[in-house]
Amino acid sequence: MPIQTKTIMSRSFLIIILFLSLSQNIIGEKLFVTEKRTVVYQPDTTEFIKRYKELDKYYSDKRLGSFVENGKTYFRLFAPSAESVRLCTFEKPEDKKCKEFFMLKDNDGVWEAELEGELYGLFYGYKVYNKGEDFSNTNKPICVDPYSKAVATKTTYLNPRRSIVVKDLPYDWQGTSWLQFDWRDLIIYEMHVRDMTAHKSSGVKNRGTYQGLIEKGKKGGIDYIKTLGVNAVEILPAQEFGYCEIPYRDSIEGKFNTWNPYERNHWGYMTGVFFAPASYYSERWNNFRWNEWIGKEGKQTTDFKDMVKAFHKEGIAVIMDVVYNHLSEYEVGNLKQIDKEYYFRLDSKGNYISQSWCGNDLKTERPMVRRLIVESILHWMKEYKVDGFRFDLSTLIDWKTIEEIRQRALQINPNVILIGEAWGGGGYSPDGFSKKGYAAWNDQIRNGIKGENPFNGLGWIFGEWFNNNSVKRIKSYVNGTLVRDTLGLFQKKEHSINYLESHDGYTLGDFIRIGSREVNPESKIKNVDKHVKLTPLQTKLNKLGALFILTAQGIPMIHAGQEFARSKVIPHRIRVNDPERGRMDHNSYNKDNETNYINYKHFETNKELFDYYKGLIELRKKYEAFSRSGYDNISFLEHPLSKFGLAYSINYGGEVFIVLLNADKNMELEFPLPDGKWEILVDKNNAGIKPLRDAENVIKVESTTGIVIRKKN
């Protein structure tokens, strides 16, 4: 590496400062100017590797972050590699100048300062100086406190933040708390807080916010979710995150933005502060505005609690999608500037490792990174009554941390919901998470039933076998994709999150539109309302997928809008010059516009499909056979004329059901029925718990449809 000349404070003057600080009790006193000199700093790879490994020895049990005790306000930051840290306080987050105070470092790597008074509402941050840096440089970025309970953020691509000293005020939970669901009973609805009410068709006053989501008597939001019948919502990341990306056609640190003309990170998978609710969902604006400070009032903490309480009152659990595998990539003023060597996985030259493909992977195996993650989880459980967590790219989190999260979380809520997205960095380990007591997204079902892609990788509902899919695998999916099937992944069926659609990729509705060959993915859609309306074939394919997912053992998950075949069409009328405008989008992470907003007019257009999902959910909730049956309670019958014809009976708790599935795209199939009297609860048109008609002897199942029958007692 080239020799770098840096201006730093000499060791002798550092010693003098520390001596004076101790003798004059200067913690919390204003910084005074010292002399400086220039030295030559030559990075050494061997020295770096040794130092990097030795950082594991640092650990502290001290309370971190900002807090008030005995009339004083304390500030503590763990940064063992730092050589100097200054506390910076602001009256307002937009203030360009701050008051600076020296902090002292203990033997365990914790820097501390104390100020007189109960300074609730004070804005603050840290200037952190590491080896080789100029200690007199006053233009250092202000680093956010990683233990901040609330922050103010400026909406620019560097996402500058100011931590807020938060007072823990009593909150009236009105008798609500965690919902103690047996995992087998869960029906999960994955959703984005803003998208559920941002569209004007939602009828919501405070559109796109925590508060808007729980407005009663509206077409969109919580009433809509309750009507559908799910009992858990999984919200896309709502920890404070980086809202913006690099300006289009511009660069930072060698990264040139050629991919995102919107310059936005809408979904939230760039977490900046693990303890703070995202202020993005507390602001009342219809359109995102640049260069504004948001979250200054700190009301996001109460708004988030109001949201959780409202869902709990409706019997709906709240699961948070959390990102602990990497940190917000482009912003300046977080753990990267606090202590890069301690908090991140680095190569032998000190460069970030990026197995997450997001620029900087957290070194979760470090003791204090593990503590940060675990205490963050416990904070959301204790302070916000959150029922569970879905861990993004969870194979990048070390197993010891995974185990400690579960052990500590179970002590608070024995029924806490823990879900892994069991891949990342080239690894895929749902079986590993199942052994640790976690559920995991079941990609086998997603790819086997729907298909891997709508172009040349169609799945079972289309009457095709994708890759190594087979009848044997379909049976395995029905049973919960258990390891005892040799093809399976899970120790328990309730560890299998069965899904066909998530925030990633095409919606199931668009996947089917393309896979059915009725919509050209390259076409520019001018009339979205007309495009959304399902054809008879698309309706059948959507219903067959829904029927499979909601009758199979395991935990079903549907993504917001899947129940009416939502289409993500990039609007023609947008300010951004997007060459894909008018097309269906398969990666809408950056769009705070109608591409992502739930349009409730389209729900009305395809209400038949919504009612089908609603009926299947009602069926699953009433009859435990579809969620609690053991392996030996289920028997299969393969159709002799088609490998896409399959029936299975469930005998559980004195109830007997038969599910008949015909994914053959070419022929109607007949299935003989066992002796007895049977009633049809689900057919190609309707689903629910009310009998549609009786069935005896033989039942015909139209191509690309399914039927559920119940034996009369």
**CATH code of the domain covering residue 31:** 2.60.40.10
**Residue 634 contacts residue 650 (beta carbons within 8 Å):** yes
Run means of pLDDT, 10 residues per run, the chain, 713 residues: 32 34 35 31 69 95 98 98 97 95 98 98 97 86 98 93 96 97 98 97 97 97 98 98 92 85 95 97 79 95 98 98 95 95 95 93 98 98 98 97 98 98 90 97 96 97 92 97 93 98 98 98 96 98 98 98 98 91 96 97 98 98 98 97 98 97 98 96 98 95 98 91
Residue 1: per-residue pLDDT: 34
Stretch (H or E) spanning 14: helix 11-23
Distance CA 183, CA 691 (A): 28
Residue 135: per-residue pLDDT: 86
DSSP 450: I
Please say which residue of 111, 146, 164 terminates a domain.
164
In a domain? residue 242: no
In a domain? residue 273: no
Residue 42: per-residue pLDDT: 43
- Number of domain units in the chain: 2
Between the CA of residue 606 and those of 69, 529, 538, 612, what are the distances in Å?
A: 57, 11, 11, 10
In a domain? residue 114: yes
Number of Cα atoms under 13 Å in the Cβ half of residue 259: 8
Task: Kindly report the length of the chain.
Answer: 713
Residue 286: per-residue pLDDT: 66
Nearest to 489 by CA among 536, 446, 534, 455: 446
In a domain? residue 566: no
Residue 575: per-residue pLDDT: 86
Q: For 438, phi and psi rounded to 5 degrees?
A: -100, 150
- CA angle (98 as vertex; 96, 100 as ends), nearest 5: 150
- CA-CA-CA-CA torsion sign (534, 535, 536, 542): negative
In a domain? residue 65: yes
Q: Which residues span the domain enclosing 660?
A: 630-711
Quick one: tokens of 592? 């705070």
Q: For 241, phi and psi rounded to 5 degrees?
A: -135, 170
- The label of the residue with tokens 């940060």 reads 372
- CA-CA-CA-CA torsion sign (208, 213, 217, 219): positive
Distance CA 397, CA 404 (A): 11
- The label of the residue with tokens 């009633």 reads 679
In a domain? residue 117: yes
**CATH code of the domain covering residue 682:** 2.60.40.1180
In Å, how far from its chain's centre is CA 375?
18
In a domain? residue 85: yes
In a domain? residue 81: yes
Please say which residue of 164, 186, 204 terminates a domain.
164
**Residue 117 contacts residue 73 (beta carbons within 8 Å):** yes
Please say which residue of 140, 164, 188 terminates a domain.
164
